Chains A and B, each alone.
Chain A
Amino acid sequence: MSDFFTVSIIIATLASGIRLAVPFLLAALGEAVGQRAGVLNLGVEGVMLIGAFAAYYAALEWDSAALGLLMGLLVGMVMGLIYALITVVMHAEQGISGIGIYLFGLGFTDLLFQKLVGTPRSIDGLQTRPLNWLADDTGRAGELLFSHTILTYVAFLLVPVIYWLITKTTFGLNVRAVGENPQAADTLGVSVNGIRTAAIIIGNTMAGLAGAVLALEVQIFQQNLTAGRGFIAIALVYFGAWRPVGVMAGSLLFGIVSSTVLRLQVEGIISGSVASIANMAPAVLTVIVLVVVSRRIGQPAALTRPFTRDG
């Protein structure tokens, strides 16, 4: 009996780890596209917060999780346009303007929440589980793989999609070209600013979606809801060496570590202080991976460098 209990807990923990990985995965995949085009967006955290609030508020007002998702996506897109204006058109320093976007998102969502909602009210999450019918017949493995909401599948399907987009399409070729050598790409007639703008919009839309998924997952909003997840997502891009599969591995690592720590704490197996140390582990590991990665693989050559014709 206790054996069964343990196995089912491990399955449940892994399954929730996969679920917790989704916001990381969406935000980091989007950020990877932007960075491949040579644009660092440190504002992911802020865009996630704005996406999360938009989703929360839409879901609260219209009673529809799907509309919430849509709103998260849309505000992400708008933030992408704004960020493209700042970095591509105005040539602002990318690292710092990202911090500006973060502060704006942090303050603005808190402001809207206090003004429009006030007392926290919970919303309904998205409950569409398209593969649930498979879970009953396939036992524990089935629970692990088939019990998720549609968002989880969409997020993980985006891994091959983004891989295909970056490596197999003309758009992806252009993205890599403007990220590695914008002058050469420009000479060949590629619109550097156009490609970068498109990549930024893709990235921010996915960040907005990541925030929306998070809000629908926890079914509540509060100040600083994302609690650093957007910053971790940026680190995951480096962790995964700018490759979608690597990004996915990193997201799963962070997700599963958090779910395991949470579970161990709930079960009373580890104390709060041990949980803090365990929660630190992915960040420490990321620093170590950064040391290894920076020796082995170079980042996109033109990352953070604004493009001008005269170099």
Chain B
Amino acid sequence: MLKMSDNQQRFSGGYDVGRFFRPFAGLAVPAGAVVAALAVGAILLGVFGANPLTGYRELFTGAFGGPDELAATALKSIPLMLVGVGICIAFRTGVINIGGEGQIIMGAILATLVALALPDVPRPILVPLVMIAGGVGGGIWGAIPGALKAYSGVNEILSTIMMNIIAGFFMSFLLEDWLIAPGEIKIQQTKRLTQNADLPILPGGTRLHLGIVVALIVAILGYLLLFRSSLGMRLRAVGHNPHASRAAGMRVEMSITQALAFSGACAGIAGAVLVFGSESHRLIGEGGPLAFTQSAGFNGIVTALFGGLHPLFTVLSSYLFGGMLAGGISLQRAVQVPQALVIALNGVVVVFVVGSLKLRARVQRWAEGDIQMEDRA
């Protein structure tokens, strides 16, 4: 399991020489991992006959070059933020949630059903309602593998993957017949959902909508839950050492179930945002589940890891990765290298970041002046 060495040296005594470096030492290694990944990307760009500098400049301006670009990046980052915050909660509890994809889909489905059932509820009520419905749908889809792990010992990696597959087929089941938009051509999508559920566009003249506010609220709630509540303290305790937590009288099974339920709820809200914040305002299953989720269930793992499994830093890292997704489009336009490059680079970043975690822990201990002690242990 992933265990961040947060504060573990705080009580080690003596003068802490690394006090001032600690926040930066931890960041140095993941930053290096990204630089390494960008170097891989530069090589790929070069192989395809594009100037890497031009490519990266296009990527950067496409992502952060102006108000519209900044807004487009924010839009791309919303699902990453939401899934990522959920991943923080699960991973901190020592539970690996690979089921973001399925949780997004189930959240989107439940939110869509609510919007279909209550089309005339006024917007200020319906918008929060569909977001909550998304959270409930994803939460249930997370709680099931959570409970299976806690009470039956089922490996959550496997069960969440299976739950992804089940959710994908469930979506296509619903859109094949029941929820499909009426018309001559059969496309796996619903009709345009009620306008009362549309996420309002924020003022400022861009396409940015309320989803970003929802994501920020969820991130703050996630932070408060994990680090400022007794529930979160129990979750993190279980993540650090389930046996000790049990000995201390905590209900480890309940914590594991809760963690995956919260994690799924965050992803489910992302599903609701993907429906009601999209330009088409439909649930679309055409092209398969991956086309709907845009791999956010997996990419959210990337941003959470990169954010050090901290909800607020995950917001920042999600915004950066959202920039890569948004900038990938102008990269493709400018140097004719498909934006699939960005997905590939995301994978490289993951590998480099997790590969360097051991190194990161070492650097952090070095900065805290405790390396000799650790070596002896």
Residue B158 contacts which of A46, A228, A235 (CB distance < 8 angstroms)? A235
Q: Which of B336-377 contact A (CB under 8 A)?
A: 337-338, 340-351, 354-358, 377
Output the least CB separation between B253 and chain A (Å).
Answer: 14
Point out the residues of chain B lying under 8 angstroms from A107, CB to CB.
Answer: 340-347
Given A100-B349, A103-B298, A272-B177, are A295 and B343 also a contact pair (CB < 8 Å)? no
Give the interface SS of chain A, mostly helix, strand, loop or mixed: helix
Q: When the two chains form their complex, are residues A279 and B155 in contact, meaning their CB atoms are under 8 A apart?
A: no
In the complex, what distance in Å separates the CA atom of A97 from the CA atom of B290?
20
Q: When the two chains form their complex, are residues B351 and A97 in contact, meaning their CB atoms are under 8 A apart?
A: yes
Question: Is A111 among interface residues, defined by CB-CB distance under 8 A?
Answer: yes
Point out the residues of chain A lying under 8 angstroms from B98, CB to CB.
Answer: 42, 95, 99
| Selected interface stretch from B64-72, B164-172, B254-262, B312-320 | B164-172
Nearest A residue (CB) for B3: A93
In the complex, what distance in Å separates the CA atom of A40 from the CA atom of B158?
11
Nearest B residue (CB) for A228: B165
Question: Is B21 among interface residues, defined by CB-CB distance under 8 A?
Answer: no
Output the least CB separation between B103 and chain A (Å).
Answer: 15
Given A238-B155, A271-B177, A290-B158, are A106 and B165 also a contact pair (CB < 8 Å)? no
Question: Is B302 among interface residues, defined by CB-CB distance under 8 A?
Answer: yes
Q: Which of B177-230 contact A (CB under 8 A)?
A: 177-178
Point out the residues of chain B lying under 8 angstroms from A42, CB to CB.
Answer: 98, 157
Q: When the two chains form their complex, are residues A234 and B357 in contact, meaning their CB atoms are under 8 A apart?
A: no
Question: Is A129 among interface residues, defined by CB-CB distance under 8 A?
Answer: no
Q: When the two chains form their complex, are residues A272 and B350 in contact, meaning their CB atoms are under 8 A apart?
A: no
Give the interface SS of chain B, mostly helix, strand, loop or mixed: helix
Residue B358 contacts which of A91, A227, A280, A294 (CB distance < 8 angstroms)? A91
Given A97-B355, A108-B347, A231-B161, output 15 extra A-B contacts at Cβ < 8 Å.
A42-B98, A95-B157, A96-B301, A103-B302, A103-B347, A106-B340, A108-B344, A235-B161, A272-B176, A273-B176, A276-B169, A277-B169, A277-B173, A280-B169, A299-B155
Q: When the two chains form their complex, are residues A294 and B170 in contact, meaning their CB atoms are under 8 A apart?
A: no
Output the least CB separation between A277 and chain B (Å).
Answer: 6
Question: Is A92 among interface residues, defined by CB-CB distance under 8 A?
Answer: yes
In the complex, what distance in Å separates the CA atom of A235 from the CA atom of B99?
14
Q: When the two chains form their complex, are residues A294 and B152 in contact, meaning their CB atoms are under 8 A apart?
A: yes
Q: When the two chains form their complex, are residues B347 and A105 in contact, meaning their CB atoms are under 8 A apart?
A: yes
Contact flags A17-37 to B (C-beta < 8 A → 1, else 0): 000000000000000000000
Residue A295 contacts which of B152, B159, B178, B347 (CB distance < 8 angstroms)? B152
Point out the residues of chain B lying under 8 angstroms from A231, CB to CB.
Answer: 161, 164-165
Question: Is A223 among interface residues, defined by CB-CB distance under 8 A?
Answer: yes
Point out the residues of chain A lying under 8 angstroms from B354, CB to CB.
Answer: 86, 92-93, 96-97, 100
B-side residues, CB < 8 A to A, are: 1-2, 44, 48, 96, 98, 148, 152-155, 157-159, 161-166, 168-170, 172-174, 176-178, 288, 290, 295, 298-299, 301-302, 305, 337-338, 340-351, 354-358, 377
Point out the residues of chain B lying under 8 angstroms from A157, CB to CB.
Answer: none
The 9 A-B pairs at the shortest CB distance, nearest first, are namely: A107-B343, A104-B347, A100-B350, A107-B344, A103-B347, A276-B173, A110-B340, A100-B351, A273-B176
> Which of B343, B345, B348 has most A Cβ within 10 Å?
B343
Nearest A residue (CB) for B304: A96
Point out the residues of chain A lying under 8 angstroms from B347, CB to CB.
Answer: 46, 99-108
In the complex, what distance in Å separates the CA atom of A295 from the CA atom of B158?
15
Point out the residues of chain A lying under 8 angstroms from B178, CB to CB.
Answer: 273
Given A103-B344, A283-B166, are A92 and B357 also a contact pair (CB < 8 Å)? yes
Given A93-B357, A280-B170, are A102 and B298 also a contact pair (CB < 8 Å)? yes
Point out the residues of chain B lying under 8 angstroms from A114, CB to CB.
Answer: 338, 340
Nearest B residue (CB) for A298: B153
Nearest A residue (CB) for B145: A287
Output the least CB separation between B377 and chain A (Å).
Answer: 8
Q: When the two chains form their complex, are residues B159 and A287 in contact, meaning their CB atoms are under 8 A apart?
A: yes
Point out the residues of chain B lying under 8 angstroms from A291, CB to CB.
Answer: 148, 152, 154
Point out the residues of chain A lying under 8 angstroms from B48, CB to CB.
Answer: 115
Point out the residues of chain B lying under 8 angstroms from A104, CB to CB.
Answer: 344, 346-348, 351
Question: Is A166 among interface residues, defined by CB-CB distance under 8 A?
Answer: no
Nearest B residue (CB) for A87: B355
Q: Which of A220-255 contact B (CB under 8 A)?
A: 223-224, 227-228, 231-232, 234-235, 238
Point out the residues of chain B lying under 8 angstroms from A86, CB to CB.
Answer: 351, 354-355
Contact flags A53-80 to B (C-beta < 8 A → 1, else 0): 0000000000000000000000000000
Nearest B residue (CB) for A236: B158
Point out the residues of chain B lying under 8 angstroms from A188, CB to CB.
Answer: none
In the complex, what distance in Å separates the CA atom of A105 from the CA atom of B302?
15
Question: Is A286 among interface residues, defined by CB-CB distance under 8 A?
Answer: yes
